[in-house]
Structure 1
Amino acid sequence: MQSSSDVPAPAADSTVISLMQAALDQSASGIIVCEAVRDNRRGIQAARVVLVNRRAEQYLGLSRSELIGQTGDSILVTATSSDLWPNVYKAIETGEPNRYDVFLSIRRSEVAAWFDMCIEPVGDGERVVVSLADITEIRNAKQALMGESILFKALSSTVPEMGVIVTDYFKKILTASGLLPDLLSNTNPDELVGGLLENFVLPEFRQDWRNYLGTALRGEAHFFSDHWAGWRSEVYVGPVYNDVGAVVMILVVFRNVTEQYRQQQALIQSNMALEQSNRSLEQFAYVASHDLQEPLRKIKSFGDLLRTNYGDAIGEEGIGLIQRMQSASERMSTLIQSLLAYARLSSEQRSPSVVHLEDLFNELISDLSVAIQERNGVVRLKPPLPIIPGDEQQLRQLFQNLLTNALKFVPSDRTPIITIGARVVEGPKVPHVAAAADAIYAEVDIQDNGIGIDKENYDKIFGLFNRLHGRKQYEGSGIGLATTKKVVENHKGAITIDSQLDKGTTFHVYLPMKGEGDTIEA
């Protein structure tokens, strides 16, 4: 009696064979039934095909009639393993199944593919069932994954302070290399390969990382900063796609930014301390200026009383001393007023308004007309001048200081000639300003024919109380250009100098023309 597992002999009832063939044709695997071909000594010479299903025909590219009755060697041209048919023979003789991956090349159909091949002995020991599953795409994907893994490993080993983990679609680690954080229970890259990534994540962070990995498999990337046990890292978790756009891997990159973060925090603390110091200094200057004005007013008032009521008693010499005292108090008052004005530049804030520079300069020229006439000066305004956002009061102070200096620092035997012009420049071309690529600035140039400035003093002249000349030569408080620079900084601009001794100076003032909604410090 024949068992149900036996493959029917060719003489079996045709109805049974048809039913078996129909059942086999429904299988998703390719199925080939082979029988042993023996020599006179009962040794196996070959394996002959006695039955195939539809999927096997598709896999091998041959019809059923081209396969039935053929031996394996006549069907297959090459195989990666020389044990291909010996393994079939072994399964027939021992009755033990076998399974392995094999690359098959078919002579007539020119099919070449990788298969997962299972060999299962059946029946009386003369036959085996060979099932085939096409794993070519899986095999190619593995090769691609291996290549990508090697690339990522090389990348992490050459970039300092960086670690890389690559997992397959099922979150199993394919490769790990570089510097890995204490987020993981094991930071030895070699000991991570083959395990599930989420299993190595510390328990308190595991759920978050399940979410990161899950969204990466859905095609979404995460880039974030985090810290664990003193380690601060920038982290990327994202998908890796194959040629058809399917997610096949997850890429995780750690970049250790602990030292950069510490330096950044130290810089922030330093800047905060500096800002606090500046605020304290400005507040002190503001209060001191008010408190110092009152005794100066009394000095002037008492001096006037002495001159009026006791002038005859103290004589001309005494009156001269009083005048010198009052003159000194007036200079001190002027200095305090200038210091107070400088302190105000940082103690208040105002929203910017629209400033027409051409109108502003015309008003300044009118205000300074007496001083210009006294020196027989010439002021040349070259329109058009742009319209900019800014604090008009501060800008008036800025340009008035520059015009006053242009009149003042000219030899007495020379007619002052001042030229005012402007042009539009691109933000990246503005010196000493980190401007956006699309930023636009107004460059306002004020040129004079005065005594000039030595290049060694370009930076010094913008400091508080820095004077390059004695008071007897040129009057001033030493605060004017410091105020000028402060106004420029408040407007997020820049100021530079071109000068030649005894030939003149040009101040280049750069002010942004595009307002960003920022307030202007007043």
Structure 2
Amino acid sequence: MIVDDKNIDSLLAEIESLKEKLDESNSIIEAIREGDVDALVVNKDGISQLYSLETADYTYRLLIEKFRQGALSISKNGLILYCNEYFSKLVNIPSEKIIGNYIQGYFDNSSQFTTLIDALKYGLSTHEILFKTNDTPATFPAYISLTDLEPSVDAIGIVVVDLTEKKKYEEALIKHQEELEVKIKELNRINSNLEEFIHVISHDLKEPLRKILMHNSKIDGSNLTEIDAKSMGVIKLSVLRLNSLVDDLVKYSSHTVKEEHTEIDLTTVISEVKEDLEVIINDKKADIRVGDLPVIKASRVQMRQLFSNLISNAIKYCKPNCPPVIEIDQTDNLDVEIPNQNSKFVKIQIKDNGIGMETSHLLKIFTIFQRLHARNEYSGNGIGLAICKKIMENHSGNITVESKLNEGTTFTIYFPI
């Protein structure tokens, strides 16, 4: 009978143990149903394994898993309760090996954790820190944003934003900025030297011009023939115009003087250019035909330089034994639109019957010092058309060229309306 009593006591103890386990299981199930449990730790063969649970918050959990930023939940002392797959990839460690560890162990400077928690009490939730990783490089910069989940949950939510690419762009930007500053300093030095050079050249040019004018005035016109007197007048006018042009070029080259754009009658400008080029026009028997040209807002000095370069070019590259014919006119299609630009433009064409050029040369001619012919064939230093391009850029316009070998060339210039 005593043995039976012992068996009964043993059975009662076993029943009580099973009842406790059942109550524990029921409480766990209830906690899972209420969403209070995120994970379970199961001991098997002395090894603890942690299992995440899918509860009624499945959609929310799926969103966090697909989130392209690291997401974690931690206890107040830093114990990692959950991390998404993206954070796992950032540190290159499987998520099951991250959960259950302390987040400060993944900081490059673990002492920062205390600072983050203290700052959270005062509403400072975003910080920039370095995370350690099992990958190369050994660390990566990140923004870490903390949110206290109380009173709903006794935990802290964390979002981690990888700043690696952003830092690369910032470093590249700083490097380019430093390179740009060096180039700007070099450009300022060159411009300063160029400005001094232009002033020296202008002085050297104006000195002989003054002497020409002085000696011209000493010549007794009464002893000259009518033709000689006329030639002396042409010389005087040319010297005065050249003197004025030197002054204008010095002003144009100066950084301290900004030339205003005023209303310019292009027909008048071309008449002045024809007077400047009178000798070469007569020598080549050039026929310059000017149509109805508009009044535009521009720099008078630069417009004279622009048309002087284009007309002299057309005369220079004429066919042998064939007088050059140059037609300058505004095209019928007003309000021309240029691709990739919002403005509308006035379109003017300068067409000649010269030697033309090959299509492969068209892109080269606007490059400074670019020559298509040997010096013994045609004079010039390859600056003229580069200056034309720069002038059109100064006026927010454009210049293009079309040409056929042995048939002629057409330059088209666009002035914004």
SS of 1:444's equivalent in the other structure is strand
Which of these residues, 486, 489, 492, is aligned with residue 390 of structure 2? 486
Instruction: Check if 1:166 corresponds to 2:71.
Output: yes
CA contact (8 A) 1:99 1:117 kept: no
Instruction: Check if 1:379 corresponds to 2:290.
Output: yes
Which of these residues, 44, 58, 61, is aligned with residue 146 of structure 1? 61
CA contact (8 A) 2:310 2:385 kept: no
Q: Counting strand residues as a fraction of each chain, which structure ranks higher?
A: 1
Partner residue, 1:446: 349
CA contact (8 A) 2:141 2:162 kept: no
CA contact (8 A) 2:400 2:412 kept: yes
Measure, in 2, the Cα distance between the counterparts of 1:350 and 1:502.
42
- The 5 Å alignment of 1:14-163 reads 92=19, 97-102=24-29, 114-115=33-34, 139-141=55-57, 143-152=58-67
- The 5 Å alignment of 1:242-261 reads 250=159, 252-261=161-170
CA contact (8 A) 2:248 2:301 kept: no
Partner residue, 2:255: 347
Partner residue, 1:284: 193
Measure, in 2, the Cα distance between the counterparts of 1:487 and 1:227.
52
Q: Deviations over 1:154-188 (max 9, x none)?
A: x6xxxxxxxx31135999662214446xxxxxx96
CA contact (8 A) 1:100 1:116 kept: no
Which of these residues, 327, 344, 364, is aligned with residue 417 of structure 1? 327
Q: In the TM superposition, what is the alpha-carbon distance from 1:417 to its structure 2 partner? A: 1.8
Measure, in 2, the Cα distance between the counterparts of 1:393 and 1:379.
18
State the AA in 2 paired with 1:146. R
Q: Normalising to structure 1: TM-score of the pair?
A: 0.46
Q: Percent identity?
A: 17
Measure, in 2, the Cα distance between the counterparts of 1:415 and 1:144.
80
SS of 1:461's equivalent in the other structure is coil
Alignment: residue pair count: 337
Q: In the TM superposition, what is the alpha-carbon distance from 1:487 to its structure 2 partner? A: 2.9
Instruction: Check if 1:404 corresponds to 2:311.
Output: yes
In structure 2, relative to structure 1, the CA distance for the partners of 1:369 and 1:495 (3 Å cut) is: closer
Which of these residues, 360, 363, 383, is aligned with residue 268 of structure 2? 363
Instruction: Check if 1:272 corresponds to 2:200.
Output: no
Q: Normalising to structure 2: TM-score of the pair?
A: 0.55
Q: Deviations over 1:126-173 (max 9, x none)?
A: xxxxxxxxxxxx9232x2343234324xx6xxxxxxxx3113599966
Q: Counting helix residues as a fraction of each chain, which structure ranks higher?
A: 2
Q: Deviations over 1:108-127 (max 9, x none)?
A: xxxxx944699xxxxxxxxx
Measure, in 2, the Cα distance between the counterparts of 1:363 and 1:198.
81
CA contact (8 A) 1:345 1:486 kept: no
SS of 1:347's equivalent in the other structure is coil
Partner residue, 1:30: none
Greater CA radius of gyration, 1 or 2? Answer: 1
Q: In the TM superposition, what is the alpha-carbon distance from 1:490 to its structure 2 partner? A: 3.9
Which of these residues, 396, 404, 409, is aligned with residue 505 of structure 1? 409
State the AA in 1 paired with 2:406. D
State the AA in 1 paired with 2:184. E
Unaligned runs of 5+ in 2: 1-7, 9-14, 38-53, 132-136, 148-156, 219-237
CA contact (8 A) 2:314 2:324 kept: no
Partner residue, 2:5: none
Measure, in 2, the Cα distance between the counterparts of 1:189 and 1:446.
71
State the AA in 1 paired with 2:390. K
State the AA in 1 paired with 2:59. A
Q: Deviations over 1:325-376 (max 9, x none)?
A: xxxxx99xx8xx78993994573464875x66xx542332343454698533
State the AA in 1 paired with 2:327. I
Q: In the TM superposition, what is the alpha-carbon distance from 1:287 to its structure 2 partner? A: 1.5
Q: In the TM superposition, what is the alpha-carbon distance from 1:448 to its structure 2 partner? A: 0.9
Unaligned runs of 5+ in 1: 1-40, 42-87, 104-112, 119-137, 156-163, 181-186, 217-221, 240-247, 310-329, 514-522
SS of 1:265's equivalent in the other structure is helix
Measure, in 2, the Cα distance between the counterparts of 1:511 and 1:268.
33
